[in-house]
Amino acid sequence: MATKSVSIRIEEAMLNKLARVADYEGRSLNSHILVLVRKSIQQHEAENGVIEGEIAPDTNVKPARKT
């Protein structure tokens, strides 16, 4: 499976806060955004049924760093 890049526009203050949350959770900002996206997909599928596709929402999630 190929990995694709996506660019987003985000307010600097929001990005800084998101980076702090990611750090608190022991993740990189990129990994934390992927976790949020997967949670959104899981919630959508729970409410509306499974979206047909080739990847499960929990695939390719790096575990949080242990402290």
What would the pLDDT profile of 39-65 be if each residue is shown by its tens digit? 999 999 999 999 887 766 566 555 556
pLDDT, residue 66, reads 57
Confidence of residue 3 (pLDDT cuts 50, 70, 90): confident
CA distance 67 to 52: 37
pLDDT, residue 14, reads 98
CA distance 10 to 13: 8
**Predicted confidence (pLDDT) per residue in 21-37, tens digit:** 999 999 999 999 999 99
pLDDT, residue 48, reads 92
